[in-house]
Amino acid sequence: MAKDVEVGMAGSLTMIVLFSAVTLLLRSFYKRYTRLQKRGDENQENEL
């Protein structure tokens, strides 16, 4: 029942675009998260 499927150039480009978009989004969220963590740490230090 297994068939070989040829995805061709369009499939390869689609996968490259999808992986790039996911990588950029994850990096963006991680940078935002670390910035919020730093801001929270600074606020706690100022309160002491």
Tens digit of each residue's pLDDT (9 = 90 or more) over 5-32: 788 999 999 999 999 999 999 999 999 9
Give the residue-averaged pLDDT of 31-37: 94
Rounded alpha-carbon distances, angstroms, from residue 35 to 4, 28, 40, 45, 48:
46, 11, 9, 16, 21
Please tell me the predicted confidence (pLDDT) of residue 48. 62
Q: Please tell me what DSSP assigns to residue 4.
A: -
Please tell me the predicted confidence (pLDDT) of residue 25. 98
* Structure-block tokens of residue 1: 């029942």
Q: Please tell me what DSSP assigns to residue 31.
A: H
Is the pLDDT assigned to residue 33 strictly greater than 90? yes
In degrees rounded to 5, what are phi and psi of residue 21?
Answer: -65, -45
Residue with token string 């706690």:
44
Give the residue-averaged pLDDT of 26-44: 91
More confident residue, 45 or 35: 35
